[in-house]
Structure 1
């Protein structure tokens, strides 16, 4: 099926839009126009909707309606949902479009989530099939609003009368690179004093992992997530409650890396006062000296 959009033939009709149904919109599974270099999923594996409520295949994408006039645009809007288990990029391309006359003035553009791509001019057959019009990343379960637009410049003249254009659009869904499993290793002291700071170190493998690590004490977050630097995240901490603390480091994952959690590190906290050093009262490491000399004998 193709979508043929006609231009009115008389100047007196240039301000008149006709609501007759046009042939159904055709969205081809992209792939024949270029040689893909990454993993691709059949766009038919996604779900589509005209109202973001009722979902199904591409047959739910609304048709274009009306006729082009100078300065006017025709649009059709639909929603695409990633129902796969992997994230990817939804890309909208110019398909194998045709016009009834080379000098007919027309253009296409695509809006995704209300952000418009560049206007692509179809005049003089200069726009190549496979030109990307707009794209967006979709995580598993995420939805994008897509509006396809075909328009005619306000300067269009007699060369565009009684002509027609089949804009033809194509979809591609390029899968993200497969995420890599990670391991998180947590190191720190086995014992600590309630008044003394100690260091926790989380190391995430493989090398090159990015993102953050959340340290936890008995399941509760300790402060904010700590960014990884060369695969390592460190936190200096004081635990004021006596007893055994179950410390874990949770790597939150990132693009290309799967989240992971360390084994439990048990830190036993005591409240025993820190023993003072030896020496005179005037020394930072000294004792209190002879209390009797303060009050006299």
Structure 2
């Protein structure tokens, strides 16, 4: 069994042949014994485990066990973990598979997190190496359960006796494009009156950033997140409690952009006596009055 690597930028690349997870089926009187295989190099970004507890290289992937007969399947299950800080897509492929007789009947499939991919028929050389069997996205630190399956159709005949097949399962992990770091800047007045609205402006760079900004007062959320428009989110606000307020703008991040928080802006609020019978601006609690956002609420 060999490891095959196609040129970067190719369609579906076969980066690594599984080790203990690769099987050789040796058929005898309709019995197929799965023979263990030596481990090959694995994608360096991933870790593997047989029990979702002890992690290491591909030597921890269990070998296939048992005997394959018409109408039966052999499986091996392991876990793959993304220990990096960057997400990516785990993909399982049919490798440069071989078998000793073109009309020998066998098929393969792969389950990832209990979701099965399509059944790929290996009879009469119909399947092309590099066929994707199943995939899933793994965020930073996430784990996937992978089950490799080799089966024999119930109608398999004498042509499958005393033959062998090696699907040469292959694995790839394509990391997501690196997320862009952002900076968030908050502007607003240094002072405000408890009965007068003022504007807070958060600017997120680079300007192509998408998503929302959450404004906070002394760590407490002010209203709903405000969507960015051309990198800017604005909020019109009344603060009814006298004293210094530490205002921050938290950019929540989005696909391709990393979250960031502005430096605190101190707004000192002074109170103005309210004439009897005129009421008071602000919330019923007297702490925050929210006029909403220019862009959303």
**What TM bracket, shorter-length normalisation?**
0.7 to 0.9
Distance 2:222 2:70 in 1: 62
Q: CA deviation at 1:194?
A: 2.5
CA contact (8 A) 2:73 2:149 kept: yes
Which residue of 2 is the match for residue 88 of structure 1? 88
Distance 1:290 1:227 in 2: 17
Structure 2 residues not aligned, in runs of 5+: none
CA contact (8 A) 1:6 1:165 kept: no
Q: CA deviation at 1:233?
A: 2.4
What is the CA deviation profile of residues 154-182 of structure 1, one whole-angstrom value per residue up to 9, with x for unaligned ones?
33333323322211111111122122121
CA contact (8 A) 1:41 1:172 kept: no
CA contact (8 A) 2:218 2:247 kept: yes
CA contact (8 A) 2:213 2:226 kept: yes
Q: CA deviation at 1:87?
A: 2.0
What is the CA deviation profile of residues 103-130 of structure 1, one whole-angstrom value per residue up to 9, with x for unaligned ones?
1222111111111122212121121111
Which residue of 2 is the match for residue 186 of structure 1? 186
CA contact (8 A) 1:8 1:161 kept: no
Q: Residues 237 and 287 of structure 1: is their aligned pair in 2 closer, same or farther, counting only changes over 3 Å?
A: closer
Structure 1 residues not aligned, in runs of 5+: none
Q: CA deviation at 1:85?
A: 3.2
CA contact (8 A) 1:50 1:60 kept: yes
Structure 1 range deviating more: 84-93 or 141-150? 84-93
Q: What TM-score, normalized to structure 2?
A: 0.75
CA contact (8 A) 2:241 2:286 kept: no
Distance 1:13 1:240 in 2: 61
Distance 1:3 1:160 in 2: 27
Distance 2:239 2:108 in 1: 62
Distance 2:91 2:178 in 1: 19
Q: CA deviation at 1:131?
A: 1.2
Q: CA deviation at 1:19?
A: 20
What is the CA deviation profile of residues 195-221 of structure 1, one whole-angstrom value per residue up to 9, with x for unaligned ones?
344332222111221222221111222
Q: CA deviation at 1:33?
A: 28
Q: CA deviation at 1:294?
A: 43
Structure 1 range deviating more: 28-37 or 65-74? 28-37
What is the CA deviation profile of residues 214-250 of structure 1, one whole-angstrom value per residue up to 9, with x for unaligned ones?
2111122223433333322233333221111111111
Residue 84 of structure 1 aligns to a residue whose secondary structure is coil
Distance 2:40 2:49 in 1: 22
Q: CA deviation at 1:97?
A: 0.9
Distance 2:182 2:16 in 1: 62
Which residue of 2 is the match for residue 22 of structure 1? 22
Residue 5 of structure 1 aligns to a residue whose secondary structure is coil
The structure with the largest strand share of the pair is: 2
CA contact (8 A) 2:96 2:129 kept: yes
Q: Residues 259 and 221 of structure 1: is their aligned pair in 2 closer, same or farther, counting only changes over 3 Å?
A: same
